Amino acid sequence: MGNERKRRRRRKCDLQEEGKHAINAPLIPSSAELHPEDTLLEENAERTMLDPTSREDAKLKDLQRVLIDWVNNELEEERIIVKDLEEDLYDGQVLQKLFEKLSGRKLNVAEVTQSEIGQKQKLQTVLEAVNELIQHHGWSTEWSVDLIHSKNLVAIISLLVGLAVHFQAAVRLPEHVSVQVLVVKVSRVLGSGSTVERDAFDTLLDHAPDKLNIVKKSLITFVNKHLNKLNLEVTELETQFADGVYLVLLMGLLENYFVPLYNFYLTPENFEQKVHNVSFAFELMQDGGLKKPKARPEDVVNLNLKSTLRVLYNLFTNYKNRE
């Protein structure tokens, strides 16, 4: 009996070491496919995205396979089949069933939740129960409701590894799995007598210029969806919004009203008229309930790409579902 206890204790220690080595995700900035939703964040906010090259790593794929097989084996009686960790675990349903099976404890959550709020509430309950168990054993949690629900693969894998280690799963986890993630962070840097704000567009232009076209293409698709109604089309974001005309017309389309031509210059002839147009478009945005754009009208007129991107992104986030 004593030997059996020692053997189980030794196996648990070995499994804990495997688990700690199984997922090692250094925050190394790297290239990744960015979309408008992944770019502009609130000040001091941070978002991580798995580098596409890491997805092809043999050890990471092996770890995913081991975890998928383990989850499917545990939930066989529930007739649950997991094929993709990100797509099948983000809403909390499978995680709930897995925790209940492993712990023998029934959680007080709705069985089926379709809404985002309901899914996040379920995840909150599940993760609180998981953390209560795991943190007692010194395991640092690398997951959260938002990370799991946003289908963050690193967070999902970390959570499953933590469960496997705690419940001494009969699996062999591959060691020293390392992934690279792109960290997008908004920070404010104070200079001498001035404040300089840097956001993800700065990061995008400074560190991932090759991905800039992806973001621009998404924004062009968005604006053309509406401007096409007036038989207008945008191909260059930097230049075609610089005189403010398209911005004014776009706001009218988004808010479903006609902008009287006497309110702006349809064919502006100088810098001042262009600034007037952009400033007027900013007023229309605020009238529509949007925050005042951080960009200056003069910067948009001067073909400042980051300023134009920020303005268009603001419209994209507020009207992307508008027909």
Q: pLDDT tens for the chain, 323 residues: list them.
A: 555 555 555 554 555 444 444 434 333 333 344 445 554 454 455 566 666 677 778 888 899 999 999 999 999 988 889 999 988 999 989 999 999 999 998 988 877 767 888 888 999 999 999 988 877 666 666 788 888 888 888 889 989 988 998 888 888 888 777 767 666 555 544 444 444 455 556 666 665 566 677 778 888 988 999 999 999 999 988 899 999 999 999 999 999 889 998 899 999 999 999 999 999 999 999 988 888 888 899 999 999 888 898 899 888 888 877 77
> What pLDDT is attached to residue 29?
37
- Residue identified by tokens 């956001």 is 199
- How much of the chain is in helix, strand and coil states, percent to nearest 5? 60, 5, 35
107 near 97, Cβ under 8 Å? no
pLDDT recorded at residue 4: 53
- pLDDT for the residue numbered 141: 67
pTM of the model: 0.49
Q: What pLDDT was estimated at residue 46?
A: 59
Angle at 31 between CA 25 and CA 37, to 5 degrees: 95
Degrees (nearest 5) of the Cα angle 244, 247, 251?
Answer: 145
Residues forming a β-bridge with 194: 191
**Helix-helix angle 245-255:305-319, to 10 degrees:** 10
At 297 the pLDDT is: 93
pLDDT at 138: 61
Long-range pairs, 247-250, Cβ under 8 A, ≥24: 247/277, 247/278, 247/281, 247/300, 247/311, 248/277, 248/280, 248/281, 248/284, 250/223, 250/226, 250/281, 250/315
What pLDDT score was predicted for residue 291? 84
